[in-house]
Amino acid sequence: MSTKHLLAEELHPLLDTFPELNLSDELLPAVREAMGATVVMGDPEQVQVDRREITTASADGTDIRCLVYTPRERADIVPGYLHVHGGGYILGTADMSDIVNLMLASKLGIVIVSVDYRLAPEYPIPLPLDDCYAGLAWLHNNAAELGVDRSRIAIGGESAGGGLAAALGIKARDLGEYDVCHQHLTYPMLDDRTGTPEQPGDPLTGEFVWTREANQYGWTAYLADVERAAPQVPARVETTDGLPSTWMFTAGLDLFRDENIHYAQRLMASGVPTELVVYPGACHGFQGLPGTKLAERFVRDHMQALGTALGVEVKE
C-alpha cells in the first residue's frame, strides 16, 4: 500500500531526491561517500558568524572534532546550544548541518557547538553518546571564555541526532555534572523496537526516506551485542522525571511519529514542560527539499521555539 497520496504534493519531488536507502555493511561506505558529496558549507561572512574547529577528548581519550559558531553581534553573555547531527547513527557529519547552524547562531545570537561524533558500526555504544557528552562538557567548561550562560545551555538534533540529544539529556540528568535547560528534538530516533515484527507501527508511516528496514539496520549497528537499555535507547528509560523542557517535533508520515508522541506524553506526565508539534503531510527529512512551504514553516517554528526556550528574540 502506497501512502504517496497522503504526502503533501509539494514534497513529491523529495522521493526522487532521496531514493530509498539500501543499507548493509558492504554498501555503507558508498552511501557515506555519496552523502558526503552533497554537503555544502555555508558562508560565515554572509551571516557575520565566526566558525572554528576544536577538538575535545571523549571518555576513551579519543579527540572528537566539534564546530563552534559564535555570532559577531551578540550580548556579552548568551545562551549555548549543543547540536547533534542526524544520520541513523551510521551516517553524516557535523558539516552537513553547517548552513542551519550558521543561521541559528546569527538569528538567535547564541553560541552553537556541533559535535562530529563517531559512527556505528565501527564505533557502537557507548562511544557516540560519550562523544556528545564530551561536547557538552567542553561547552560548560569553556562557558566563561565563550561568553555563555551555563544556566541556559540547550541540546538538540534531528533523527539520530535527536535520539542522541534525548540520550544526552538522560545521561546529564543522571550524572548531575552539567546542567541542560532544554532539549530540542526533531523527529528523534528513540526506540530500537520500532519497525520490528513485534512493534511494526502504523502502516501509514515509514514509507519514505527512512524505512523500517533502514531503522533496524541503524539500531543493530549502533547497539551491536550490548543490552538494549537507556540512556542509549531513550524510549527504554525507566522514568522521565527531571528531564529538561522539551520541544518535540515529528511528522505525520514519519516512521518515528508514534514513538515521538509517546515520549512526549511521558514527559508531560512527569511534569516536564513539553511542546509537541506534528506536521500532517510531511515525512522524515522533508525539510531537506528547499523552497517548500512546509520547510519554510519548519525553519520558523524550530527557530522561534528554540529562541523562546533560551529566552532570546529572533532577529529579523
Q: Is 131 a catalytic residue?
A: no
The answer to whether the CB of 85 falls within 8 A of the CB of 97 is yes
Please list the residues that pair with 242 across neighbouring strands.
Answer: none
At residue 86, the 3 state secondary structure works out as coil
Angstrom distance (rounded) from CA 94 to CA 262: 28
Q: Is 284 a catalytic residue?
A: yes
- Asked if the bond preceding 44 is cis, omega within 30° of 0, the reply is no
Catalytic residue among 58, 114, 254, 302: 254
Catalytic residue among 85, 184, 284, 302: 284
Helix (H) or strand (E) holding 80: strand 78-84
Catalytic residue among 140, 159, 182, 302: 159
Angstrom distance (rounded) from CA 1 to CA 4: 9
- Cell 520541544 appears where? 247
Angstrom distance (rounded) from CA 285 to CA 133: 25
Angstrom distance (rounded) from CA 8 to CA 316: 29
Measured in whole angstroms, the distance separating CA 62 from the mean position of its chain's CA atoms is 22
Residue positions annotated with a catalytic role:
159, 254, 284
